Amino acid sequence: MERGIVSVDGEARPIDTPFMVIATQNPVDFESTFPLPNAQLDRFLMRIAMGYPSEEDEATLLRSGKTHYDRMAIRPVISKTEIQELQVKAQSVFIDDSIYNYIHEIILATRVRPNIELGVSPRGALAFRSALQAAALVNGRNFVSPDDVQQYAVPCLAHRLRLASKVAGTYDWDASARVVSEILSELPAPHYRRS
């Protein structure tokens, strides 16, 4: 899929851009659900927990009269062309050398800790950089800040780690999130101001 082609029944089919996969997993009931191997998890940009909707949103949902997702009328908020333009623009968001060094220190730290069996891959490091550039753009900035790195490290990196079995289950996302947070607390963030 990353190459823009998917094979079905031996026939290669091109995938139109922009293309993304949004997957869900219910952490309560794993019946018929199996943990993905690290090589597949590494292809997901982020892992985020949604939790319950706010009381207000849930009340609106209850009153909406919609009984099934297939019957919901959802209107696009952005066009394909606008998404593609933003993807190109995000690539030009500036990253100072001090921020690059900070990102790299975080990545390297995931590879040398005794409680991590498998650290963040080069693919994960590049994905993290891209996510930071996109986050800065969404927040109205043309540069990545240390705060961006700290805010997005857990969602972008924790699912990519395989912990040593003595720490927790090797795919325990909460434990991985704690390890990434520990790394962030141990590494000093650069003092960077973009003028």
Signed CA dihedral, 125, 80, 19, 21: sign only? positive
Nearest CA to 179 out of 143, 153, 148 is that of 153
Q: Which pLDDT tens digit goes with each residue over 18-28?
A: 887 777 776 66
Please provide the size of the chain in residues. Answer: 195
Task: Calculate mean pLDDT across residues 50-69.
Answer: 80
Q: Where are the alpha helices (DSSP H) in 29-121?
A: 38-41, 55-63, 80-90, 97-112
State in Å, rounded, how far the first CA of the chain is from the last one: 40
Tell me: cis bond preceding 18? Omega within 30 of 0 counts: yes
Q: Which pLDDT tens digit goes with each residue over 62-101?
A: 887 666 666 667 788 999 999 999 999 999 999 999 999 9
Domains of the chain: 79-195 (1.10.8.80)
13, 7 in Cβ contact below 8 A? yes
Confidence (pLDDT) at 49: 77
Q: Which pLDDT tens digit goes with each residue over 94-150?
A: 999 999 999 999 999 999 999 899 999 999 999 999 999 999 999 999 999 999 999
Confidence (pLDDT) at 170: 46
Confidence (pLDDT) at 15: 85
